[in-house]
Amino acid sequence: MPFTYNGLPSRVIFGQGTLARVAEEVQALGCQRVLVLSTPQQEGQARQVLDQLGELGADVFAGARMHTPVETTEEAMRVLSSLGADGVVAIGGGSTIGLGKAIALRADLPQVVIPTTYAGSEMTPILGETKNGLKTTQRTLKVLPETVIYDVDLTLGLPVAMSGTSGINAIAHAVEALYAKDRNPIVSMMAEEGIAALARSLPIIAGAPADATARSDALYGAWLCGACLGSVGMSLHHKLCHTLGGSFDLPHAETHTIVLPHAVAYNAEAAPEAMARIARALGADDAAGGLYDLAKAVGAPLALRDIGLNEGDIDRATEIATGNPYWNPREIEAQGIHRLLSDAHAGRRPETLEATDR
């Protein structure tokens, strides 16, 4: 079977206590004065990183926000310029990592990324930015972090609710990689392994958040799923989530968690091989139902109405999502997308087309 696989040039440090290596990794990139990035909620962790960097640390910018608003990036760029920083260290989840990428796009500076969630953005050359209420994405190696430090210890305190939604957000990357237009056997192998690692570890974490073995398994799965996202194109699920996040300001991980089973149900008939692999990785009979049951098992939200989407917004969301759709294994039909969003809004357990037809 002919295929093309593009490996991504990033350095990965994985283990426990690996945060201690941040200064040497910054030096290895040739940086002398780096800006540490975080959200306001994680400023304390950012200050600890700044202390570890010593003379290599310029300051902390703790203004990262969800969906990477352009105005936040512009503010960070002004701070970066005033400090004369020659690199960035981002600690946190997708919001902070997105800000680091947005800076790299504009200033072409090296990045060291320290993920504290399972979002997976650190392994991708993809940047999503929001401007005037619309989220747009682009793919360029300019935004791929040079070095990623995975420290399992930093995830031990990740709240149970965030662990579940962040982990299923990661699973979404691998799910769509399995039916991507440019899929290949290497990425498909990583995708199935990533889904399986998260599917077995997230329920354990929900009951025992400090279980270091489960946390390590989840972080390993998130790394694999993020690498899938970085290597192949995404489809309907990601388009829907970008629409809901960018235009309706819904929380990123929760949106992915709720939409994923419904997007999978929509595509089930058009991608049977992918569905079989997803179900196998989940240990479930049905891919869409298995994803919904996993979300329920970890206590994640199941309905878009519970995270801020009004029923009256479904028509507008359908219009945006179908206006400039990503490639998808099944044709994008407005009526089907409206039904998908209605089911996700209500939190109904999804059924595949085959199940519905019976």
3-state SS, one letter per residue, for 5-40: CCCCCCEEEEECCHHHHHHHHHHHCCCCCEEEECCH
Residue type, 235: S
User: Rounded to two decimals, what is the model's pTM?
Assistant: 0.90
pLDDT at 192: 98
Q: Is the per-residue pLDDT at 242 higher than 70?
A: yes
pLDDT at 250: 95
Q: For 6-59, write each residue's pLDDT tens digit.
A: 888 889 999 999 999 999 999 999 999 999 999 999 999 999 999 999 999 999
Q: Is the per-residue pLDDT at 358 higher than 50?
A: no
Please, what are the domains in the chain?
11-155 (3.40.50.1970), 160-357 (1.20.1090.10)
37 beta partners? 61, 90
pLDDT at 1: 74
- For residues 5 and 202, the model is more confident at 202
Alpha-carbon torsion, ordered 180, 289, 198, 203, to 10 deg: 170
Question: CA dist 183 to 138, 176, 228, 351, Å?
Answer: 19, 9, 9, 25
pLDDT band at 133 (very low <50, low <70, confident <90, very high): confident
Task: Check: CB of residue 113 under 8 Å from CB of residue 95.
Answer: no
Question: CA dist 268 to 60, 166, 244, 278, Å?
Answer: 45, 23, 22, 11
pLDDT at 8: 85
Q: Please give the average per-residue pLDDT across 126-146, as a whole number.
A: 91
Q: Is the per-residue pLDDT at 357 higher than 80?
A: no
What CA–CA distance (Å, rounded) separates 291 from 59? 41
Residue type, 111: Q
pLDDT band at 137 (very low <50, low <70, confident <90, very high): confident
Question: CA dist 324 to 60, 265, 284, Å?
Answer: 38, 21, 33
pLDDT at 7: 83
pLDDT at 352: 64
Q: Please give the average per-residue pLDDT across 128-152, as a whole number.
A: 93
Residue type, 32: Q
**How many helices (H) and strands (E) are present in the chain, helices listed first?**
14, 8
Q: Is the per-residue pLDDT at 354 higher than 90?
A: no
In eight-state DSSP terms, residue 157 is T
Q: Please give the average per-residue pLDDT across 134-139, as a whole number.
A: 87
Residue type, 287: A
Q: Is the per-residue pLDDT at 199 higher than 50?
A: yes
Bridge pairing between strands 111-115 and 87-92: parallel
pLDDT at 5: 85
Q: For 71-108, write each residue's pLDDT tens digit.
A: 999 999 999 999 999 999 999 999 999 999 999 999 99
**Sign of the dihedral defined by the CA atoms of residues 186, 192, 197, 198, in that order:** positive
Phi/psi-derived region of residue 132, left when phi > 0, alpha when psi is between -120 and 50, beta in every other case = left
pLDDT band at 70 (very low <50, low <70, confident <90, very high): very high
